[in-house]
Amino acid sequence: MNNFADRLIEAIRRKKTTAVVGLDPRPDLMPASIVARYSLAGSAAPALWARAVEEFCCRVLDVVAPLAPAVKMQSAFFELHGAPGIASLHAVTRKAQRLGLVAILDAKRGDIGSTCEAYADAAFRPTETAKPLTGLAGGLDADALTVNPYLGRDSLDPFLDFARRGDRGLFVLVRTSNPGSSDLQQLATIETGQLVYSHVAEWVREWSEATRGASGYGAVGAVVGGTAREQIAECRRAMPGAVLLIPGYGAQGAAAADIAAAFDERGLGAIVNSSRGILFPRGSTNPRADGAGRDWEACVEQALREMIADLAKHTPAGRLQTS
């Protein structure tokens, strides 16, 4: 099974949920036990931080792998630790895939020419075949990547080359959840009056149809923020063959009922990401207290189980539980 969308849908059906765990290892929220083990107080060296981040994320993976179909690694929280952080990102990606998780790299890449080609190589090519231009750690060999289309269609061509081969996926930013999304994405074009994000959705529809697998979904999906309730339904209609990656659930304010329109009648067609709400759940070990009579890993598991149950109760994803 080489088509990315087919592999993702199969993982969703196997785990009976569309919940995705976002790996955003924020330095200010790391568990106290890990902070102490690596002596991270004060100005710890980047290599120590990278080792701590890798341990934290790998332990999270052990907890969530039996429950979730995919994880989304936020590249920024690895990159901030320099070259050791990139190496840790590489190790976390490898472990996620060994555990059977679909590994999505959230880097929101977008550029032109040879720079764009280098980004695509760095994200997708296996280490052993990576070009020298990809840098220290070689290719990350991720299953999918988030990309920014707002430099124009040609800015995504090198990424689309990988998706068209069928084994890698893209999630194109269409309608994001941040308050400033209206500054550009919701502007009307001069020619037709169509909103900018709706125009990008047409591109995604074309690309998803061109990369469609046996599941009915294509290897090119879209990022649609969970806080944009009305636009979610619109985007679902505009991109029927695109998997929607929905951020904004939980800590950012979107409830399960807000994102119900992202799913098709089978409970498929969307994946819902939660990062802080799973990694650092309130009332447990957040931000630096491994207390409350439970360890932080148990709190991560409980938070994920609660998310899965919430999506099952308030969205069509509940149909996966009985299929």
- Cβ-based burial of 39 (10 A; exposed 0-12, middle 13-18, buried ≥19): exposed
* Widest pairwise Cα distance in the chain: 61
Question: Is the pLDDT confidence value at 253 over 80?
Answer: no
Question: Is the pLDDT confidence value at 65 over 60?
Answer: yes
- Residue 2 confidence (pLDDT): 86
Instruction: State mean pLDDT over 237-266.
Output: 91
Question: Is the pLDDT confidence value at 22 over 80?
Answer: yes
Question: Is the pLDDT confidence value at 252 over 80?
Answer: no
Q: What is the per-residue burial (b if ≥16 Cβ within 10 Å, else e) of 127-141?
A: eeebeeebeebbbbb
Pairing status of strand 144-147 against strand 19-23: unpaired
pLDDT per residue as tens digits for the range 72-119: 999 999 999 999 999 999 999 999 999 999 999 999 999 998 899 999
Contact call for residues 70 and 103 (beta carbons, < 8 A): yes
Q: Which residue has the tokens 């979107």?
A: 254
Instruction: State mean pLDDT over 251-260.
Output: 85
- CA neighbor of 274 nearest in space, from 308, 253, 247: 247
H or E element that contains 102: strand 102-109
Percent of the chain with pLDDT over 70: 91
For domain 4-322, give its CATH number from 3.30.70.20, 3.20.19.10, 3.20.20.70, 3.40.1190.20: 3.20.20.70
Catalytic sites, residue numbers = 108
Q: Who has greater pLDDT, 151 or 44?
A: 151
Which residues, at least 6 apart from 197, have a Cβ–Cβ distance to it below 8 Å? Answer: 174, 175, 181, 185, 186, 231
pLDDT per residue as tens digits for the range 175-201: 987 878 777 888 888 778 888 889 999
Contact call for residues 109 and 151 (beta carbons, < 8 A): no
pLDDT per residue as tens digits for the range 219-240: 999 999 988 788 899 999 999 9
Instruction: State mean pLDDT over 269-285.
Output: 84
**Is pTM, for the whole model, over 0.85?**
yes
